[in-house]
Structure 1
Amino acid sequence: MSMWGGRFGAGPNELVAQMSESVSYDKRMYAHDIKGSQAHAIMLGKQGIIPTEDSRKICEGLEQVKEEIESGKFEFKESLEDIHMNVESRLTEVIGDAGSRLHSARSRNDQVATDMRLLLREDVDEVVQLIRGTQVALIELAEKHTETIMPGFTHLQHAQPIVLGHHLLAYVEMFDRDASRLIDCRKRFNFLPLGAGALAGSTLPIDRTFVAEHLQFDGLLQNSMDAVSDRDFCIELVSDLCILMMHISRQAEDMVFWMSQEAGWIELDDAFCTGSSLMPQKKNPDMCELARGKTARVYGDLTSLLTMMKNLPLCYNRDMQEDKERIFDAIDTVKVILAIWAPQLATMKVNKDRMYQSASDPALMATDLAEWLVRNGVPFRQAHHRVGGLVGYCKEHNKSLDQVTLEEMKTVIPESNEECLALWKPENSVRLRNVIGGTAPNQVAAQVKRWKASSFMKAEEST
């Protein structure tokens, strides 16, 4: 018998039943559904809505159902549609009529909203932990490369010398914001919907605050209609995951380029690369490429959620059943990429000589000459123009900047002197960028030290 079938004279069409089922994917919420149901049953007994003995039987019966699921003995039935009805149906088989009392003062609408929040709290905690692991790997790598010089880029063209550690720590900053967003998102959705019923609350004397405290929610959702129809928390979470994946994708692109023959700056371990079915010499950074591709997948999950919700009237609509596959897919995708990311970073081998060679073009130090002029009283715009003139002179005469004599330099930059001829070494360039946030080795070492003092790094060191 369908749990909503009293109104209907016949069961649903077979194809309708197939389209309606969600247990094939929402069964992953079984533990959270049971946890929420136990809290609800305890409250019903405490409030005298159901006999205390029935409340006890329900909680014990739900434990048995959980054990059956975890041991693989439980038979999920698509005819019962979802995880909620599967659990409740089996509970009633186990303990009899007492199980039919469990659904008093609740609807699947507020039940699923509660289950989702219980599940996503754990998912957020896991993703944040994985982000911290990635940050640790980056910090440890950066610490080894506070003086490893490489070219920094703008517009994918060599711009100025930097140190590799500085580049790696930029991603540590990005991932830290990602963790912060997820933690903040978790705080925002950690409020209890249960008790909202289908949309209007209940006439029964329930105690929502008791359930919230039992399930470790920070409070109650205050409007029953919003409680059952809100999916902002799913959209916000996937949006945060999209930003995280964007950062991963950017770093993936960096590593793909760095590993190319054109750069030859790094090598990743064979365990994180693949070969070619045709070309025996190939070693491809496939995990980086897959990370880029899966970023698009997570973006698609967000677009699906936003599109699903954009025209829905209050309150609950069956369209919202489509939220689960998208949120689960986004979380699962992020988890598997992050689980790979830190170990992959730990295997990175750096070709310091190739990096240094790539950063040694004197043109990368053109800004250093302009700033030398500023330090000697020349307004920056004039300094920029004069150094640009020197670059043009070198191009015209097929010379590099470090091949120009002082006499030639003075024809374009009258203020220049012998000091200017010593500006063309990248190690001097990075050393002079000794400002907070700059790429000077001692500044990068200070950044590393600051990160190593952070709580998550200390936690990592203690394990």
Structure 2
Amino acid sequence: MQQLNLLGSAPTVRCRMEDSKEQPKEAKLWGGRFEKGVTPAVEKFGQSVSYDRKLYKHDLMGSRAHASMLAKQGIITVQDRDAILNGIDEIEKRIDDGKFNWRADREDVHMNVEAALIELVGEPAKKLHTARSRNDQVVTDVRLWCRDAINDIVQRIKYLQVSLVQLARENEGLVVPGYTHLQRAQPLLLQHLLLAFVEMLERDASRLLDCQARLNFSPLGACALAGTGLPIDRHNTAEALGFTEPMRNSVDAVADRDFLIELLGANSIIAIHLSRLAEEWVLWASEEFGFLTPSDAVSTGSSIMPQKKNPDPMELVRGKSARVIGDLTTVLVLCKGLPMAYNRDLQEDKEPLFDSVETINTVLDVTAEFAQNVVFNKDRISKSLPAGHLDATTLADYLVYKGIPFRTSHDIVGKAVAIAVSKRIELKDLSLEEFLRINPVFEEDVYTFLGVENSIAKFRSYGSTGAEPVAEQMKFWISKLGM
């Protein structure tokens, strides 16, 4: 299977970060009412450009839309707009080429871009921030970034789904023990078990797209919190940026991060699903199970024990779920009890956001790669199937066919299991005479319900583990995923 080379949700920002001590002091863009500058410790503590510069593409998108709208509304001239747009293009090129000087004393991505724009084009650039605050600017950037990030994650989910369906296709007909409480329960087709994770991932993708639809509303023009008296057109900028429409309430627009929490929540559910898959495969790779063997390409060894072959990628997938859940918890606690409207606390939402998205993208990619490099040990699995009386429930169904109430059937089969356990044999090895001593309803046809192969053949309900229902599931997913 061809490996996808998917981009992250934002380009790598190749640049140099200039320490404020190396720069001549300059007036802050907000410094008009201040007589003294901040201390170096406060300046270092308050900067966010070391990580929020990841938003630069989306920040420049927002500024282009805003400048164009200001000109359309007659708030700035067309000449000023053109100067601003040309300057933005030059700044973007410098950032892309790694030639932009990010300065910590300019605090964040917005101030760095605006100050550089003023240096480039002069007075026209000072008009760009008309009817805009960093409060609405940053949340516009973050919504745009999240919108793109969701598309990336959904692509990776689909790729993992394809990998799992392909793995299922390669193991058609393989019966494995199914577990509840980590105890032998009923037989399953391996395809059925793998498709269970495909279904979970489909809901994960749907959840992300639902989140994307809810976050796709524009805060731009909400300004600090109250909007503006200038004749701006928020519908214009919303449309230019691909938003559904502007947010109705300017306070809500700048104050809340529920959309971000929702994305981190969706990522956490993905992480939990992948952690469960990882746990399954780590167990199955153990000597005690021996159901699967990962290739050398996705295994590691021990620094002291020469014989070891560890499924480390899956252990890390399992472990990194804690990190993704931690990112969600960080933002939940961050937003708890904040007074309205905007507060600087919200600067702290970005690092957990970026970390969650980067981590979930990585674990999706690695899980897909692991799925492409694993072999199920059919002989070992087959030899394990007799243990645990996996066909007991099918035997109870047999008695239901004979007209016995299920609860009574359950009790009868329990007695049969007890005899088989005492003799250390399978249910199918009990004689008809032994069955008849338990209940006279048994006939010779009981043996068509016993043994895992016969048991699997009896499953026929929609979505069950029978050959026909699973074939229908496979057909559905192969078509849906375009395989």
Normalising by the residue count of structure 1, what TM-score does the alignment of the two structures yield? 0.97
Residues 296, 365 of structure 1: alpha-carbon distance in 2 compared, 3 angstrom cutoff: same
Q: Is the 8 A contact 2:428 2:451 kept in 1?
A: no
Any unmatched runs of 5+ in structure 1? none
CA deviation after TM superposition for structure 1 residue 423, in Å:
3.0
| 2:383 counterpart of 1:357 | yes
Q: How far, CA to CA, are the matches of 1:46 and 1:362 in structure 2?
A: 75
Q: Is the 8 A contact 2:297 2:373 kept in 1?
A: no
The letter for the 2-side match of 1:109 is N
Match in the other structure for 1:405: 431
The letter for the 1-side match of 2:364 is L
| 2:204 counterpart of 1:178 | yes
Q: Is the 8 A contact 2:449 2:458 kept in 1?
A: no
Q: Which moved further from structure 2: 136-145 or 374-383?
A: 136-145
For the residue of structure 1 that corresponds to 2:390, the secondary structure is helix
The letter for the 2-side match of 1:159 is A
Match in the other structure for 1:370: 396
Q: Which moved further from structure 2: 78-87 or 335-344?
A: 335-344
Match of 2:354 among 303, 320, 328: 328
The letter for the 1-side match of 2:203 is R
The letter for the 1-side match of 2:202 is D
Match in the other structure for 2:60: 34
Encode CA deviations 1:306-331: one digit per residue, 9 max, x unaligned: 10101101100011100000111100
| 2:435 counterpart of 1:391 | no
Encode CA deviations 1:170-204: one digit per residue, 9 max, x unaligned: 00100000000000100000000000000000111
The letter for the 2-side match of 1:205 is P
Encode CA deviations 1:393-442: one digit per residue, 9 max, x unaligned: 33344444233211112111221111223433211111110221111122
Any unmatched runs of 5+ in structure 2? 1-26
Q: Percent identity?
A: 47
| 2:248 counterpart of 1:226 | no
Q: How far, CA to CA, are the matches of 1:106 and 1:298 in structure 2?
A: 33
Encode CA deviations 1:96-131: one digit per residue, 9 max, x unaligned: 111111100000000001000111111000000000
Q: Is the 8 A contact 2:76 2:127 kept in 1?
A: yes
Mapping of 1:183-332 within 5 angstroms? 183-332=209-358
| 2:372 counterpart of 1:346 | yes
For the residue of structure 2 that corresponds to 1:453, the secondary structure is helix
Q: How far, CA to CA, are the matches of 1:55 and 1:206 in structure 2?
A: 15
Q: How far, CA to CA, are the matches of 1:399 and 1:246 in structure 2?
A: 39
CA deviation after TM superposition for structure 1 residue 360, in Å:
2.5
For the residue of structure 2 that corresponds to 1:226, the secondary structure is helix
For the residue of structure 1 that corresponds to 2:102, the secondary structure is coil
Q: Is the 8 A contact 1:373 1:383 kept in 2?
A: yes
| 2:136 counterpart of 1:100 | no
Q: Is the 8 A contact 1:390 1:413 kept in 2?
A: no
Q: How far, CA to CA, are the matches of 2:118 and 2:28 in structure 1?
A: 13
For the residue of structure 1 that corresponds to 2:391, the secondary structure is helix
Match in the other structure for 1:57: 83
Q: Which moved further from structure 2: 250-259 or 409-418?
A: 409-418
Q: Is the 8 A contact 1:362 1:402 kept in 2?
A: no
CA deviation after TM superposition for structure 1 residue 363, in Å:
1.1
Q: How far, CA to CA, are the matches of 1:172 and 1:361 in structure 2?
A: 28
Match in the other structure for 2:6: none
Q: How far, CA to CA, are the matches of 1:422 and 1:136 in structure 2?
A: 36
Q: How far, CA to CA, are the matches of 2:214 and 2:156 in structure 1?
A: 21
Q: How far, CA to CA, are the matches of 1:271 and 1:94 in structure 2?
A: 51
Mapping of 1:117-156 within 5 angstroms? 117-156=143-182
Encode CA deviations 1:24-70: one digit per residue, 9 max, x unaligned: 00000011100100110011111111111011110110010011011
Q: Is the 8 A contact 1:145 1:163 kept in 2?
A: no
Q: Is the 8 A contact 2:185 2:388 kept in 1?
A: no
Q: How far, CA to CA, are the matches of 1:271 and 1:188 in structure 2?
A: 41
Q: Which has the higher helix share?
A: 1
Q: Is the 8 A contact 1:228 1:315 kept in 2?
A: yes
Normalising by the residue count of structure 2, what TM-score does the alignment of the two structures yield? 0.93
CA deviation after TM superposition for structure 1 residue 281, in Å:
1.1
| 2:454 counterpart of 1:428 | yes
The letter for the 1-side match of 2:401 is R
| 2:443 counterpart of 1:417 | yes
Residues 114, 125 of structure 1: alpha-carbon distance in 2 compared, 3 angstrom cutoff: same
Residues 155, 143 of structure 1: alpha-carbon distance in 2 compared, 3 angstrom cutoff: same
For the residue of structure 2 that corresponds to 1:267, the secondary structure is strand
CA deviation after TM superposition for structure 1 residue 362, in Å:
6.5
For the residue of structure 1 that corresponds to 2:309, the secondary structure is coil
Q: Which moved further from structure 2: 180-189 or 13-22?
A: 13-22
Q: Is the 8 A contact 1:394 1:401 kept in 2?
A: yes
Q: Is the 8 A contact 1:257 1:263 kept in 2?
A: yes
Match of 1:24 among 50, 60, 76: 50
Q: How far, CA to CA, are the matches of 1:50 and 1:399 in structure 2?
A: 88
For the residue of structure 1 that corresponds to 2:287, the secondary structure is coil
The letter for the 2-side match of 1:380 is F
Encode CA deviations 1:270-295: one digit per residue, 9 max, x unaligned: 22211101111111111100011110
Q: Is the 8 A contact 1:212 1:220 kept in 2?
A: yes
Q: How far, CA to CA, are the matches of 2:453 and 2:431 in structure 1?
A: 21
Q: Is the 8 A contact 2:69 2:237 kept in 1?
A: yes
